Amino acid sequence: MAIEEPSYRVVEAEGNFQLREYPSYLLAETRVAADFEDAGSIAFGRLFRYISGGNQGKQKVAMTAPVRQEAGEAGSQRVAFVVPAEFSRATVPVPGDPQISIREQPAQRVAALRYSGRWTEANYRDRERSLRDWMSRRGLKAAGPAVYARYNAPFVPWPLRRNEVMVPVEAPAP
Residue 26 is classified by DSSP as: E
Residue 37 identity? E
The predicted model scores a pTM of 0.92
- Checking if the pLDDT of 1 tops 70, the result is no
Q: In this predicted model, what pLDDT tens digit does every residue of 7-42 receive, in sequence order?
A: 999 999 999 999 999 999 999 999 999 988 899 889
Q: Which fold has domain 9-169?
A: Multidrug-efflux Transporter 1 Regulator Bmrr; Chain A (3.20.80)
Say how far apart CA 66 and CA 155 lie, in whole Å.
15
pLDDT for position 119 = 87
Q: In this predicted model, what pLDDT tens digit does every residue of 76-89 receive, in sequence order?
A: 999 999 999 999 99
All structural domains of the chain with their residue ranges:
9-169
pLDDT for position 171 = 82
Instruction: Write phi, then psi, for 51 (nearest 5 degrees).
Output: -75, -15
Secondary structure of 119-174 in HEC code, one letter for each residue: CCHHHHHHHHHHHHHHHHHCCCCECCCCEEEECCCCCCCHHHCCEEEEEEECCCCC
- Checking if the pLDDT of 160 tops 70, the result is yes
